[in-house]
Structure 1
Amino acid sequence: MIRNYFTIAMRTLVRNKLYAALNIAGLAFGLTCFLLIGLYVFDELTFDRQHSNADRIFRVVEHKNVNGEATTIGAASYQLAEGSKRHIPEVENTARIDRIGRANLINPENPVNFQENISVVDENFLRVFDFPLLSGDKITALKEPNSIVINEELAMRLFGSVDVLGKKLQWGHLDTPSKITGVLKNHPRNSSFDFNSLISEPNAEGYKQFIASDWSSNNVAVYALLRADAKPEAVAQKMTRLVLSNYQPEKGTSLHFSLQALPDLHLHSAEITDGARNTNVDAMVQGNPVYIKVFSFVSLFVLFIAGINYMNLSTARASNRAKEIGVRKSIGAVRKNLVYQFLFEAILVTTLSFLLALGLINLLLPYYNEFVGKQLSLNLQTNYRIWLMAAGATALIGLVSGSYPALLLSGFKPVMPLKGLKINQNASAGFRKGLVVFQFTVSIVLIIGTIVLYRQVKFLNNTNLGFSKDLLVVVDVNTGKARSGFEAIKAEMAAIPSVRSVSVTSRVPGEWKTYRRVKINTESNRTEPGMAYFFGADKDFLGTFGVQLARGRNFINPSDSTSVLLNETAANLLGISDATGQYVEIPMVSSNGGDFQPVNKDGAPFKARVVGIVKDFHFQSLRDKIAPLVLGYNRNPIHGIDYYTAKIQPANVPATLEKMKAAMVRADADDPFEYHFLDDQLARFYLEDNRRQSLMTWTALSAIFIACLGLFGLATYSVEQRVKEIGIRKILGAGTFGLAALLSRDFLLLVLVANLIAFPIAWWAVHQWLQEYAYHIDPEWWMFAAATVLAALIALLTVSYQSIKASLTNPLENLRSD
């Protein structure tokens, strides 16, 4: 029976080549889009799932409120980690990691400097997490002080081999070398961790004394491995009680902890400051669960639209198969057999489409991976769940899209088609129209969304930020020599003919590191300090970055070490309108998003004179409103310099960079010359927006293309059914334009109905999305009008080909049989 079904199905496809091609192409295109987006979504949803105990590992998150100032940080104290294991039965083990900066890492056998991040972990880290070791023992690798575990990529860079156990490495700032006790496999791309080396916690006496009484800091990221029956909420409450029983917060401070599941780190950490700074910043930047939902629904819509096309064309061509059904029923076929036959045809079509989709995916994946920044694949090594999803989607779309035609066609009475009577398809015609409306509703929503997203991304990239971002080379300062001798280095860089100006700062606009925050108030109001961001700058900052001075003056010389500049928002916060003779006090500072600490050890505030007010500029992303900002002179007690920034001329940039590098090397040969262009760094703020805009564009084009395939097939069938009517109208004098308009009118009306449904949906969706940005465009009427015109034009072009072709045919050929 199956062989018979297959034979009949193949004959049907061969006999109706155009409709078979339309169905297979549409379904293949839909499956391709579905699987490509599915690979991306699956990768996002499986972040950190490579650890066998991922569902039992939780990050400790501290929630603190100090006089109404709330902070949420993914870090905690040393003793919380140690005490939880001893006093909370549900905690099986804990691990901690702290990134304490960057330094040169040198292989003494081949002393080439590599600037690497320093990640300090306890001995349990490799026991809690499943970071596979190529060599070494995870139980003992980090037990002894001065032990270091490196990954295979770093081993190859330093030694050219992964056989490095027992070799020594030297950190630039440490006197004692580190012994390599293990080699890790490289992390998968969908991991929230990006370290390439781990060093064991030190055993210095001062360090041990500090951690022995540390219940209050949030210096380290703490991960708790809970027992299988533990309830995270209850454990978090016990952690809060444990800390508060050993540490009494200051008056006005409230404190509690929560536990965040490891698999949630990537998609649900937008409001959490990463205290250990161990997040993988290149892993699609920061995952967004909203976009995961949007693209999941969009991929399903595209696949659903492809299935709708199959249903549309199958039901539209019901009359063409009526005699076949009549003959089969008259010789004994029962309805069940016919249903199986048509379902088999649908599954055959989807199977052929799936095979075609696999070929398309493997052709597109290299470009797609480059675009989304991942390493996705669809081969025999791919996770079995991907293949189950692909097979399930193919079978489901085949069964669902083939079920309605199968039930409709198998329900014909045999006597009607054999007597030449017309099959009444009014019901199915209404159903087909509804499906066309649905297809174009989805397509129009995607068109509007793409236009709005494109305009918003263009706005983000072209908005005046309040400073100049072009041709600014930012050089990272990595060693003490480059800091202490900055005047000489700056002067040498400024003397390069192609360098227009040079500034030294502790942070730069568009900073990818954490800005320091300060509590600030005026002399007359010491009870209600406000919060502002802070970074140090020299007298050339305004000129180099093109920041405008609104009132007062700029820094002049080292005597301004106790002077500050405020941005307009900070001036308004403090009620300062005159930049002359005003004094402010900064009693507290927060580094890396942690607790506020006194600026001076004796508790005395930093008292500074306001000498100028600068116009507001966007030193953060356009997602954030411009916040109060304090610019301290570079010799301030809060934050020293960390960058040289040079404004260069556009001619012969490589030569300019070489001269700047030479200036740095002469000052400190051990400091690698690390630089980037500021406009490139600012573009990283919106890297995901650009990717999503492109992905949305291609998805919208895919939905439109599939909808047009279905519309083309329906138009072809409609013309076939009306050839005699067209012939009669031509004989009676109807022109080509009139006939084309007549045949296109019904389809255009369906598109207009789709617009009416799509507009409110699209308006609501884009308004919800734009709330993500503090600065954004407003949707305008022309965006909706453009979508209407575009959809109507696409539908008209799709339908008009068949309409014009039919109207140009000799009417005698269509009427000859009558």
Structure 2
Amino acid sequence: MQKPDPRTSSPPSFARKFLEWFCPPFLYEGIEGDLMEEFDTDVEELGEKRARRRYIFNVVRFFRPEIILRNKLSLQIMNTIMIGNYIKVASRNIARRKLYSFINAFGLSVAIAFCTLIYLFVQDERSFDQFHVNKDYIYRIHDTDFNPDKYKKGEADPYDRFAYLPAPLGTTALAELAEVQYMTRFSQGEGVMRYRDKIFKQRYANADSGFFKMFSFPVLAGDHAHLFRNLSDAVLTRETAKKYFGDEDPIGKIFTIDVNGEKTMRVAAVIEAPPANSSIQFEMILPIEMNPWFIGNRERWSNYSYPTFIQVYPDTKTESLQDNLNRLYQKYVPEETREWRERNLVPGFKPYEYGVTALSDIHLRKDVDWQKVSDPQYSWILGGIAVLILVIACINYISLALTTSASRRIEVGIRKVVGAYRKQLVQQFGFESIVLALISMMIGLGLVAIFLPYFNDFTGKEIVFTAASIFQVAGVALALSIVVGVLAGIYPSLYLSGFLPASVLKGTFTSRLQAGFTKPLVVFQFFLSASMIICSVIMYRQMKYVTTKDLGFDKEHVVAVGTQTGWNVQADRAVEQFRNAVKNDPVILHVAGANFSFDGGWSRNGFKINGEDKNAYVYRVDPEYIPLLGIELKEGRNFDSQLASDSNALIVNEAFVAHMNWTDPLQEHLNWKEDSTGQGAKIIGVVKDYHFLSLERKIEPMFMSINQKDVGYTTTILIRLAAGDISENIAHVQDTWTRLFPDRPFDYSFVDEEVARQYESYTRWLNIMALSTAFAIVIACLGLFGLAGINALNRTREIGIRKVMGAELTSIFVLLNREYIALALIAFVFATPVSWYIMTRWWLADFQFQTEVGWELFAMCMLGGLALALLTVSYHAIKAALINPATTLKHE
């Protein structure tokens, strides 16, 4: 039998590690060598297995508890004593330097608070629709349509994408595609809901029964398994049920809802309301068949009105799913529709195809028209701003720590003389930095709690603290605090611990600090702050411009009231009935009817003239519409309801005249329905261009008609009120409405507020930028304050000599401050072109009509920034100038 080779055998690794752990370092090498020598002998004589057992026995035999007590416990006690000493010294230094400690803590706390708020914002953005159990298998279908106008403009992505699709697509996909497990169409509307004496305008959603199988909205009460088996079933959220039925059990309750005709419904279930981070929102769900236009569109592949969701089986390939959806397009969409899409096609581009978006990606996909979408760029920009503010806070800490370092030179010298190592001093000063950062964290969390409601208002969010989120936020804040404490404390701790004890204690050490590297950092800080100031001012100027610009009509004191009748002839009758009732009312000056109010929707028609494709926005109005809004007639006349011929007449805007290349529009006719055997509709007037859409868009071709049959119904009543108390006038209008239409709720909005709502997303971004700018300015000013302190400390001797030689306070003040004015000027010189480029190429580019960005705007921002910088540094300048020169020269 062959003997084992000691060279290939080794003792148990855990025994060796145990020996290394408890054995004193100065004995370990010798003991470990003796044990290995004995192990090799045992391997040759007894075999490897017995040798390994004997090695373990020898290690355990050598172990003594007193070794642990002598080596490990004593070290832990010593570390505990040192940490306690660190805490005591840190507390004393923080208390002794109250001003600098406050500034440091406040600067860090602001940075931590801002970063935490941005974390909450980004987390909320990315949390949309994540709560659905089947989120990985649910997709929303959209279409991708080639847009020749975008191609002509040179856009990189010349396609339009819409989530509104033909009604039969969903049922056909469910029936013919093997990948599809469930399907639901989802549309939204509003009607008048009645239960006993309660009458409210009620928003609702229409969906298929597959909705409840796909989405994780818990059904709280009622039928869980067979919802929408009956077309009279209705599903209400808990809040909606409470509004109508109070504390009564809502299940089985009967109510009516008027949506283009009154329908009787029964409450079949109560469902949990969707959370704020849901892309799908509803207050009530009715069967898709209750959509008043669904029956007529059930089999129409040419009507695009129904968002469609599908749930697929696991392991479904997205590419294969899209290919199969496009086969349905080729199979079922009429040939003339496909040919029409291919008329203006550019070689190399597809005319039309279906695509899908995963449910969890819907919220951050802004290129597809949908509710509650967001630009993912906002998260990246805000995240970048948060990181920059955190870096600025670290820079500020370094500057302020260096400002106070000279006063601790004697402390450092004494500690080194009595035996302190530099490593221990680095640990001490670093520990002080972390302690201050943790104090800042507590202040920062307090600021988060205070500012969260305002932050929600700024961002349009509904972020709330839950038990889980509080621990999460606290963890993020703690991590930020430790990172900031370590990063911000590294350089000051190395600098302070590097003082030579002999120089310090002999008095030959100078307090002049070579911290010139902070100047470019402060320039960088002010560059960022100046850029944000300029961007915020430009945003403010643009929003002021769009809200005060002459829109071509008078929007003041105009109220829009929905007729609440649905899309039918009753709407026109309601407008006329209300007008007749207030004919002699001094509070109501004018009444007009329209199919849409501003920001309330629009209708656009395409038509072919002489073989050329044309399109225009179409509005149904009555003859009072133009005079009520004060729209200027450039040519021709207004509608006259007494003239039968005017029912087939049109009034167009200047943009339409240019679109048609007309030279004498009053002699023209327009066959916009493409079904007339004659000339078409007569043009009787041309209005001066007015902004019926937001200022993001150029003024498009548009025409108005009073033709009920071709254009639709006047479902909105516009009311011009007399000047006076707004609340009293609205109450008067409501009383009149209730008297005339007791079975319809009074729901109104001011036209000027509707116009303002068109810019909500921009206003929200302006608020976010204003908040970010305020934080950046505060922290940058703290950094400048620290730099001013370093400079004043460096020039203590010079100031003393100047004062002895007769220098005045004002001259010393100018001497110390001109450097910072120069730094601020440099920052603005760099910030001006950068901010101008960003705003003109990014933000203002979204608006067709823009405010002027002239030199005076940049000059105003620069003067404001310089005044802020001067105010910040004045404290140190005045303090240094007032010091008794005898005191400074004595120590220097």
TM-score, normalised on structure 2?
0.82
Q: Say which of 766, 772, 797 aligns to 1:693.
A: 766
1:26 paired residue number: 107
* Residue pair 1:467, 1:617 contacting (<8 A) in 2 also: yes
The aligned runs of 1:659-670 (5 Å cut-off) are: 659-665=732-738, 667-670=740-743
1:319–1:422 Cα contact (<8 Å) kept: no
Matched residue pairs, number?
A: 785
Corresponding residue of 2:637: 553
Aligned to 2:872: 798
- Aligned residue for 1:462? 548
Greater displacement, 608-617 / 715-724:
715-724
Hey, what's the Cα distance between the residues in 2 that align with 1:124 and 1:242? Answer: 21
Give the CA deviation at 1:673: 1.9
Q: Name the structure 2 match of 1:474.
A: 560
Equivalences for residues 121-160 of structure 1 within 5 A? 121-160=207-246
User: In proportion to residue count, which structure has more helix?
Assistant: 2
CA distance in 1 between counterparts of 2:297 and 2:861 reads 63
Q: Hey, what's the Cα distance between the residues in 2 that align with 1:424 and 1:761?
A: 39
Question: CA 1:96/1:410 → structure 2, altered by over 3 Å: closer, same or farther?
Answer: farther
- Secondary structure, aligned partner of 1:202: helix
Is residue 2:882 matched to residue 1:812?
no
Alignment match, 2:613: 529
Q: Distance in 2 between matches of 1:675 and 1:16?
A: 59
Q: Structure 1: any 5+ residue segments left out of the alignment?
A: 281-285, 589-599
Question: 1:388–1:129: structure 2 CA closer, same or farther, 3 Å change rule?
Answer: farther
Residues 1:489 and 2:573 are matched in the alignment: no
Percent of residue pairs identical: 30
8 Å CA contact retained: 1:505, 1:634? no
The range that moved more, 469-478 or 300-309, is 300-309
The yes-or-no answer on 1:787 pairing with 2:884 is: no
Q: Is the 8 A contact 2:599 2:758 kept in 1?
A: no
Q: Which residue of 2 aligns with 1:596?
A: none
Pick closer, same or farther for the CA change 1:381–1:226 going to 2, 3 Å.
same
Indicate whether 1:266 and 2:353 are aligned.
no
Q: Deviations over 1:559-584 (max 9, x none)?
A: 21100011000111012232323110
Q: Which residue of 2 aligns with 1:435?
A: 521
Give the direction of change, closer, same or farther, for the CA distance of 1:655–1:206 in structure 2 (3 Å limit).
closer
1:102 paired to 2:183: no
Q: Tell me the SS of whatever aligns to 2:592.
A: strand
State the shift of 1:470 in Å.
Answer: 0.2
User: Cα distance 1:497–1:737, how it changes in 2: closer, same or farther (>3 A)?
Assistant: same
Quote the Cα distance in structure 1 between the aligned partners of 2:362 and 2:678: 37
The 1:163/1:416 distance shift into structure 2, 3 A limit, reads: farther
CA-to-partner distance for each residue in 1:262-304, whole Å, 9 max, x for gaps?
33433433x4344xxxx35xxxxx5333333333322332232
Letter paired with 1:553: R
Quick one: which of 238, 247, 255 aligns to 2:352? 255
- Alpha-carbon shift at residue 696 of structure 1 (Å): 2.2
1:179 corresponds to which of 259, 263, 266: 266
Paired amino acid for 1:685: Q
The residue correspondences of 1:1-80 to structure 2 (distance < 5 A) are 1=79, 2-65=83-146, 71-80=160-169
2:352 aligns to what SS in structure 1?
Answer: strand
Distance 1:246 1:68, change over 3 A: farther
| C-alpha deviation, 1:335, in angstroms | 4.0
Report the alpha carbon displacement of residue 308 of structure 1 after superposing the two structures with TM.
1.4
Distance in 2 (alpha carbons) for counterparts of 1:456 and 1:66: 29
Is residue 2:461 matched to residue 1:350? no
How big is the shift at 1:734?
A: 1.1
Q: Report if aligned partners of 2:592, 2:622 keep a CA contact under 8 Å in 1.
A: yes
* CA positional deviation for 1:419: 4.8
The one of 606, 622, 630 equivalent to 1:538 is 622
Match of 2:490 among 376, 399, 403: 403
Please state how far the C-alpha of 1:466 moved relative to its aligned partner: 0.5
User: Could you tell me how far apart the structure 1 residues matched to 2:407 and 2:148 are?
Assistant: 78
Q: 1:224 to 1:709 in 2, by over 3 A?
A: same
Contact 1:490–1:644 at 8 Å: present in 2 too? Answer: no
Query: In 2, are the aligned partners of 1:518 and 1:534 still within 8 Å (CA)?
Result: yes
Helix, strand or coil for the counterpart of 2:863? helix
What is the CA–CA distance in structure 2 between the aligned matches of 1:425 and 1:704, rounded to whole Å? 28
C-alpha distance in 1 between matches for 2:454 and 2:425:
44
CA distance in 1 between counterparts of 2:678 and 2:244 reads 46
Residue 538 of structure 2 is matched in structure 1 by 452
Distance 2:174 2:476 in 1: 40
1:468 CA displacement: 0.4
Q: Work out the CA distance in 1 between the residues paired with 2:707 and 2:559.
A: 19
The match for 1:591 is: none
Cα pair distance change 1:606/1:538, threshold 3 Å: farther
Is the CA contact (8 Å cut-off) linking 1:94 and 1:222 kept in structure 2? yes
Q: Which amino acid aligns with 1:272?
A: V
Q: 1:305 to 1:65 in 2, by over 3 A?
A: closer
Closer/same/farther in 2, CA of residues 702 and 668 from structure 1, 3 Å limit: same
Confirm or deny: 8 A CA contact 1:561 1:636 kept in the other structure: no
Matched residue, 2:24: none
CA–CA distance in structure 2, aligned partners of residues 208 and 681 of structure 1: 32
1:610 corresponds in structure 2 to 683
Distance 1:98 1:687, change over 3 A: closer
Q: Distance in 2 between matches of 1:634 and 1:389?
A: 62
In the alignment, is residue 81 of structure 1 matched against residue 170 of structure 2?
A: yes
What residue is the counterpart of 1:594 in the other structure?
none
Whether the 8 Å contact between 1:77 and 1:220 is mirrored in structure 2 is yes
Cα distance between partner residues in 2 of 1:714 and 1:206:
69
Closer, same or farther: CA 453–703 of 1 in aligned 2, 3 Å? same
Choose from 373, 380, 384 the match for 2:467.
380
What code does the residue aligned with 2:700 have? Answer: A
Over 3 Å counting, the alpha-carbon distance change for 1:129 and 1:411 in structure 2 is farther
Aligned to 2:746: 673
1:412 positional shift: 4.9
What SS class does the counterpart of residue 299 from structure 1 fall into?
Answer: helix
Separation in 1 of the partners of 2:496 and 2:204? 69
Q: CA deviation at 1:75?
A: 2.3
Name whichever of 565-574 and 308-317 sits farther off. 308-317
Q: Deviations over 1:115-173 (max 9, x none)?
A: 22342111110221111222235442334322111011111110013731222222235
Structure 1 residue 710 and structure 2 residue 783: aligned?
yes
CA spacing shift, 1:583–1:811, aligned 2, 3 Å: same
Name whichever of 73-82 and 471-480 sits farther off: 73-82
Displacement of 1:746 in angstroms is 2.5
Q: Deviations over 1:325-347 (max 9, x none)?
A: 44444444444433332332222
Q: Distance in 2 between matches of 1:104 and 1:550?
A: 40
Q: Check whether the contact 1:493–1:660 (CA below 8 A) recurs between aligned residues.
A: no
For residue 270 of structure 2, give the secondary structure of its aligned residue in structure 1: strand
Moved more, 757-766 or 358-367: 358-367
Report the secondary structure of 1:252's partner residue. helix
Aligned to 1:592: none
Residue type of the partner of 1:265?
I
Q: 2:365 is matched by which residue type in structure 1?
A: H
Partner of 1:587, secondary structure, is coil
Q: Give the whole-Å Cα distance in 2 for the aligned partners of 1:205 and 1:408.
A: 77
Tell me by how many angstroms 1:240 deviates: 1.1
Contact preservation (8 Å) 1:496, 1:659: no
**Contact conserved, 1:465 with 1:618, CA < 8 A, in 2?**
yes
Aligned letter for 2:615? M
